[in-house]
Amino acid sequence: MCGICGFTWNDEELAHRMTEQLAHRGPDQHGIHCEDKVSLGHRRLSIIDLSELGRQPIANEDGNVLVVFNGEIYNFAEIRVKLEAKGHVFRGHSDSETIVHAFEEYGKDCVNHFQGMFAFAAWDRTTGELFIARDRIGIKPLYYTVVDGQLLFASEIKSLLEHDKLERRLNRQALYHYLGHEFVPAPMTMFEGIHKLPPGHTLSWKNGDMKIEEWWDLKFEDPPTLTDPEEAVRQVQELLEDAVKSRLVSDVPLGAFLSGGLDSSAIVAMMRKHITGTLRTFTIGYEDKSFSELDYAKTVSEQFGTESHVLMVNEMTPELIEKSIWHLDEPMTDLSSIPLMLLCQKAKQDVSVILSGEGGDEVFAGYDRFKASKMNRMYATIPKVIREKMVAPILLSMPDRPQKKGAVNMLKRFVEGSLLPEEAEQIRWQFFLSKSLEENLFSDAFRRDVSFDPFGPLRTCRAKCRTRDRLNAELYTDTRFIMVDSVLMKVDKMSMASALEIRVPFLDYRLVECVARMPGSLKLKGMETKHIFRKALEPYLPKHIVYRGKQGYSLPVKHLLRNQLKDYMTELLMDSPVIRENMNPGYVEQLIQEHVDMKHNHNHVLWGMINTAIWHRRFLETANVQ
């Protein structure tokens, strides 16, 4: 796990500066290589082959191929055996060296041989071509930009910003989509002119010509071929166990995040099958029981005899908020970002690798929004005039309840989502720019620059999925649209802030492709989410863990904005130039007051604007980003 960067000309001083901006990702080693048409930089977090032979940039035998790599290739040992049989000579035992020889042997098709999470760049001296690839799922990030006809790339945006000629400009279209979706959809970023390389894509650069191509996408079989429940359970058990086992390869200590939810509990159960000694687990908790899962985590920890480490989070300071945004590179409203950053800091004191349960909800249909989508099809049979003129006004006028969810809060959220267009599908319950907000929040200058098409990026994503199975189509957009630029980006940035590697077994592409062969009815059965997954875990976990509902460990932001962070929020939003120029200050003030008075829960849009204001101050109002 590392940080990589580079560009298509020779500048050793710039390569050093860009590489240093990634030092938190790789504190163990650093290296650069500069020649006529390329400069490559690398910061290393040593996980496999701790010797100098794992140092990057790394070359093949004759030095014609050089690679910088961020991630892990879990099947590198198997690939190495095949490459050695073909005559390739290895000097060390790192997975990065396997990439070099695989590229030498298979060319650009090497990506199809890799099982893992990765973003890498390979410089081919014989052809003068720079080849960049990102893993199938998008677990590891990669950004790029073109300045004066030259390409720059890096694991984090702040590395690109070291180039003096790269202008720092707000992307207003990205800001609009961010406030709705709470993340910036790829390929956009909040910086005009800086882009994300989408997951499952490659970028080739030769003599000033750039080509971006897709090499993998998630395909749902239509009709599904894995329809037998018993066989589906067997394959899920087999593939999940192998995914966990392959992610235990490490030359440094490792552990697991344990929230007490189904996904993390399943990971711990599978780890215990292969770890006989100490198994460290790390759990986060809050005093507010409606936000905390400590009791469930304790049950799982005791069952599997883990060495449990608990972090209680009860306060939130402006310094923590601003630190998280600096590491994220652009605003992100995920309410679990800061708790995750703190938990990673704690875990790093004991381990360097963590297994975590991200992806389980997207693969197996675990979110409440999948149930809401199904219920909405029944709710839509009620005459529209009754839904919109009678039910909605009554529910939406009810004051916010203090607990995280609760019947009233959940009903209000359901009705809010049901008022959005049908094209939004299940995303409507993960979308927070209501019609009222869109009509009142933005300034005239903002409106002149922006296309008000809230679900345009979603339509582009959805058009690639051909399945007629409604739930499977929803899982496609969750996996390829939301998860990549929200969940996975958060996990990468918050973990690498502490140089901690997080591995996500549920996103082993073999498991993902297996579940994609199943009909949606095996995943959402009636109103039971993750049906086939729960069946697969019955032999491993207590029944009350297997069949409990989803809770999550998000920060109680709505309470903090009404109390501890109220003055900070008000001062920040009233003084920020990006808020003044793009929003209507009077309406922003109204949102603050309604939230503080508990008339409505505006925490999502307020937290989004807070993140935007801090990001703008840190990255655009001053060139000194650290």
Tens digits of residue pLDDT in 299-318: 999 999 999 999 988 778 89
pLDDT bracket for residue 391 (50, 70, 90): confident
Do 24 and 156 form a contact (C-beta atoms < 8 A)? Answer: no
Give the confidence band of 403 by pLDDT, cuts at 50, 70, 90: low
State the pLDDT at residue 241. Answer: 97
| DSSP conformation class of 623 | S
Q: Is 541 helix (H, G, I), strand (E, B) or coil?
A: coil
Residue 411, pLDDT score: 85
The secondary element (H helix, E strand) that includes residue 515 is helix 509-515
pLDDT at 617 over 70: yes
The length of the chain, given as a count of residues: 626
User: Among residues 415, 401, 426, which one has the least CA distance to residue 520?
Assistant: 426
The domains spanning 2-214 and 229-365+469-546 adopt the same CATH topology: no
Q: Are 43 and 56 in contact (CB under 8 A)?
A: no
Q: How far apart are CA 504 and CA 489, in angstroms?
A: 13
pLDDT at 625: 41
Phi-psi region of 397 (alpha: psi -120 to 50; beta: other; left: phi over 0): alpha
Task: Look at residues 148, 2, 138 and name the one whose alpha carbon lies nearest to residue 484.
Answer: 138
Q: Which residue has the tokens 């240093």?
A: 20
Which residues 6+ apart lie within 8 Å of 456 measured at CB?
none
In the chain, % of residues over pLDDT 90? 80
| For residues 54-65, average pLDDT | 88
Nearest alpha-carbon partner for 461 in 227, 175, 226, 138? 138
pLDDT band at 624 (very low <50, low <70, confident <90, very high): very low
Residue 307 has, within 13 A of its CA and on its CB side, a CA count of 11
pTM tops 0.85, yes or no: yes
- List phi, psi (to 5°) of 613: -65, -40
Q: What is the CATH topology of the domain spanning 229-365+469-546?
A: Rossmann fold (3.40.50)
pLDDT band, residue 556 (cuts 50/70/90): confident
- Residue 10, both tokens: 């020779």
Q: How high is the mean pLDDT of the chain?
A: 93
H or E element in which residue 90 lies: none
Task: Please give the pLDDT value at position 1.
Answer: 60
Q: When comparing pLDDT for 557 and 355, which is higher?
A: 355
Domain 2-214 has CATH 3.60.20.10: yes
- Residue 167: HSE in the Cβ half-sphere, 13 Å Cα cutoff: 6
Give me the pLDDT at residue 525, please.
97
Distance CA 43, CA 623 (A): 23
Q: Is the pLDDT of residue 626 over 50?
A: no
Query: What confidence tens digit (pLDDT) does each residue in 174-224 have?
Result: 999 999 999 999 999 999 999 999 999 999 999 999 999 999 999 999 999
467, 477 Cβ separation under 8 angstroms: no
Q: Does the pLDDT of residue 52 top 60, yes or no?
A: no
Helix (H, G, I), strand (E, B) or coil at 211: strand
Separation of alpha carbons 35 and 508, rounded Å: 37
With tokens 């309470």, the residue in question is: 559
Q: What are the structural domain ranges in the chain? A: 2-214, 229-365+469-546, 556-626
pLDDT value at residue 208:
96
Q: How do 501-503 and 65-73 pair as beta strands?
A: unpaired
What pLDDT does residue 409 have? 76
pLDDT recorded at residue 461: 96
Say how far apart CA 405 and CA 410 lie, in whole Å. Answer: 6
Q: In 3-state terms, what secondary structure has residue 435?
A: helix
Half-sphere exposure of 333 (CA within 13 A, CB side): 27
4-51 pLDDT tens trace: 999 999 999 999 999 999 999 988 888 999 999 999 999 987 666 555
What are the structure tokens assigned to 164, written together?
Answer: 């003096």
472, 517 contact by CB (below 8 A):
no
Asked if residue 155 lies in contact with residue 196, where contact means CB atoms within 8 angstroms, the answer is: no
Query: What is the DSSP track for 108-137?
Result: GGGGGG--EEEEEEEEETTTTEEEEEE-SS
Which tokens in the block code for residue 426? Answer: 């299940």
Instruction: Categorize the per-residue pLDDT at 554 as very low, low, confident or very high, splitting at 50, 70 and 90.
Output: low
Q: Give the CA count within 13 Å in the CB-facing half-sphere of 244.
A: 24
pLDDT of 432-481, one tens digit each?
Answer: 999 899 999 999 999 999 999 999 999 999 999 999 999 999 999 999 99
231 Cβ partners below 8 Å, 6+ apart? none
Over 90: is that where the pLDDT of 139 sits? Answer: yes
Q: What percent of the chain is modeled with pLDDT above 70?
A: 95
> Residue 334: which pLDDT band, with cuts at 50, 70 and 90?
confident
pLDDT digits (tens, 9 = 90+) for 101-131: 999 999 999 999 999 999 999 999 999 999 9
